[in-house]
Structure 1
């Protein structure tokens, strides 16, 4: 059993991404419930994973992840997962003692850019880079499973 403790931030400036190499991720959700979600993720069209996450706190979740055959992952994404699929390019960038993951969304969620940092505890201190804006860790709209049900492309961008 693993616990994921993660903070999410909007990204206000992407100039720091120039020259960095990202990895492509495609993922879909098999189940989205009140207490848990299950997803399939394919990375770089080379590896596939099945993940189950359950709520345990504000920014903490139980997380179980297992590598599955790529062929099975593709079949699940194409024929079983809820649509639209989540498509993004992920960049990793060390800042202080942590590695930040910056997701640049594509497809139905194009225009959304979110930075995430995994922590050891919910109250762990960390260095917040200048490009990291508003903390949206507790705003479910920014969770990937929410972006399936309500993609960024249909949000009212005025507010």
Structure 2
């Protein structure tokens, strides 16, 4: 697998799995009905450093993407935020872990001192991955997320030092 910075041309290959993940409404606190132009603006924003994972065994198919950005501004701009999406058809292959390790290392090299996730759905299976990578739950906003299967659940705020 090749992890590299995304180009504007990659969006058309990110959008299919981005839309499946967000429209499921169970892991991201974004509107499940987000249309393609709004999704592009969210994911490919100028303030984001975007990465993609190409599966070299499958003719360069994009199987995951992530963004990295400052979570805050000004004197707090040294704390990163990131978002991660792995094509649901590619889960269980270790792609998420490899991409997360890459982005965490990139954040460290870019001078960030820590990384925060603002809204990790309590029932999101990726929570276990984040914990194995050194993230801890700082707090939970109870009942902040309306999960399509589990009903109202909390959103965790997770952090790790870099």
> What TM-score comes out, normalization by structure 2 length?
0.31
Query: Higher relative contact order at CA 8 Å, sep ≥6: structure 1 or structure 2?
Result: 1
